Amino acid sequence: MSDTIAAVATARGQAGVAVVRLSGPEAFRVGAALAGTLPAVGTARVRVLRDPGTGEVLDQALVIAFADGQSFTGEKTVEFQIHGSIAVETAVLRGLLSDDAVRLAEPGEFTRRAMENGRMDLSQVEGLSDLVVAETEAQRRQALTVMRGAIGTLAAGWRKDLIRASALVEATIDFADEELPGGLADEAHARIDGVLRELRDQLAGSDSAERVRQGFEVAIVGAPNVGKSTLLNALAGREAAITSDVAGTTRDVIEVRMDLNGLAVTLLDTAGVRDTDDRVEALGVSRARERALHADLRIFLGAAPVEGLWRPGDLLVHPKADLGAGNADLAVSGLTGAGVSKLLEAVTAELSGRLAGSSVMIRLRHRQAVEGAVAALESARLHVQDMPDASDLAAEDLRVAVRRLDSLIGKVDVEALLDDIFASFCLGK
C-alpha cells in the first residue's frame, strides 16, 4: 500500500486561491479530520478547516473529494482550495502532516503515481512537464497535444500493425511443414512499409518540433559598430545591450528571450566580426562565429554576409536606415525603429515556414526510439523477402521494433529516466 502524500499544488506566494492536494489510501480519513466532513465524491462544498489536534480554525475552503480511479493520481484524493497566502498554506499543510499516515510529497510524485496507476503514459508525463513551463502559444499547443496522448495513440496503431506482421511471420515458423495460404509475406511486407512511412514522416518533422519546444536562436551578425546592439535593444524593446560608437564594445554573446507570434525565440547579439590583436576581443569574435554558426537563423547587418556563415533562409539587412537605406529590401534603424516591424515579420515568416510538417516527437528520446524502430523495420523488410528461410530473423527484427515503440510510452527500458523526469516537477505536481 502506498503512502498518503500531501503538498501545496500551486506556486508559493500571495494569490486569491491556493490548492493543497492530499492523495493516497488515508486521504478521505485525514481530509475529514481537517474539514469535519467531506462532500460527496465529485462535488465541491465549502468547509471550515480546523487543526485536528487543537480545533483551531485554519481557513474556510472549497473542498473536493475524488474516488479511486477518478482523480489525477488514480487514488483517493482530496483537494482544498484555500486562500492563497503563505501563512494559510503552511497552516493547512501542517494540519495534514500532523497525521502519522501522511508525509510531504516528493517533486513530481503526484504525476508519478498517475503514471504508475495507468492514468498517464510516459509521453503524456513529458507533455505535462512541458505544459507547466510553456512560455508561448506554440509551446502550449504542442505540449497539450502530447499530454492528451498523441504519441500513445500513434504508437498503439503502429504496434497493432507490427503485431499483425509478426503473427504472419511467426506462422511461417510454427507451421513450416504445412501448406499455408499465399500472400503472407506480401501482407507482412505491406504492414511494415506502412509503419515505416509514418515513422519516417515523424522523424522528418522532429527537428522542427524540438525547435518549438526549446525555442529558436537568431543571431545578429556583422562587423563592429554597424548597430547590432542598438538593433537588439530595438527588437527587445529595452536596453538589453550596451551601445557605443566605440568598435568592439560587445565582447560576449548577449541573449534576449522573445515571443514572436507564439514562437519562443532567443536573439543573440554577437561581437563584431573582424581581425583584431586584442586577445579578449578575438575570443569574443571566435565565440560570435561559433554561436552564429549553430543558430537557427542569422540576421546579417551590413552590406554583405559574414564569410562562411551564410545559410539558406538567412536575412541580409541594411543598417542605420535613418541615414539612407539605398535599394535594400530590408533596412532598419535601431535608433528610430524604422523597419523593425518588417524585420520581425520576416524573421517570424521564415521560422514559421520551418514548422510545416512538424511531428509530435518533441524530445531527443522520442527521436532515438523511432530511429531504432526504423532500423529494425528496414532489416525486417529485407528478411521478409527471404521467408521462410529468414523468418526467424524477421520475427526478431519485428520484436525489436515493437520494443522500441513501447519505450515511447514507458512500457520498457525507461526506469533510468524516471527520476530525472519527475525531479523537474514541483512538489504539488
Query: Is residue 249 marked as binding?
Result: yes
Query: Is residue 229 marked as binding?
Result: yes
Query: Is residue 270 marked as binding?
Result: yes
Query: Is residue 13 marked as binding?
Result: no
First to last CA, the chain: 20
Measured in whole angstroms, the distance separating CA 132 from the mean position of its chain's CA atoms is 9
The DSSP-derived string for 322-381 is GG--TT-SSB--TTT-TTHHHHHHHHHHHHHHTTTT--S--SHHHHHHHHHHHHHHHHHH
Q: Are 101 and 141 in contact (CB under 8 A)?
A: no
Query: Is residue 247 marked as binding?
Result: yes
Query: Is residue 228 marked as binding?
Result: yes
Query: Is residue 79 marked as binding?
Result: yes
Count CB neighbours of 149 within 10 A: 18
Query: Is residue 246 marked as binding?
Result: yes
Query: Is residue 250 marked as binding?
Result: yes
Query: Is residue 269 marked as binding?
Result: yes
In which residue are the cell numbers 546592439 written?
A: 229
How would you list the strands of the sheet with 77-84, edge to edge?
44-50, 57-66, 77-84, 15-23, 4-8, 102-104
CA-nearest of 191, 185, 196, 166 to 386 is 185
Q: Are 44 and 78 in contact (CB under 8 A)?
A: no
Query: Is residue 244 marked as binding?
Result: yes
The DSSP-derived string for 278-302 is -HHHHHHHHHHHHHHHHSSEEEEES
Query: Is residue 225 marked as binding?
Result: yes
Query: Is residue 43 marked as binding?
Result: no
Question: Residue 390, class by beta-carbon neighbours within 10 Å (0-12 exposed, 13-18 middle, 19+ buried)?
Answer: middle
Q: How many helices (H) and strands (E) does the chain have?
A: 14, 11
Spatial separation of the C-alpha atoms in residues 371 and 271, rounded to whole Å:
38
Q: Are 299 and 343 in contact (CB under 8 A)?
A: yes
* 174 phi, psi to nearest 5 deg: -70, -30
Residue 27's Cβ-side half-sphere holds a number of Cα atoms within 13 Å equal to 30
Query: Is residue 326 marked as binding?
Result: no
- Return the amino acid letter for 45: R
Query: Is residue 170 marked as binding?
Result: no
DSSP code, position 105: P
- Dihedral (Cα; 216, 217, 221, 227), 10-degree rounding: 90
Count CB neighbours of 290 within 10 A: 12
Binding-site residue numbers are 21, 79, 119, 225-230, 244-250, 269-272, 429
Binding-site residue numbers for Mg(2+) are 229, 250
Binding-site residue numbers for (6S)-5-formyl-5,6,7,8-tetrahydrofolate are 21, 79, 119, 429
Binding-site residue numbers for K(+) are 225, 244, 246, 249
Binding-site residue numbers for GTP are 225-230, 244-250, 269-272
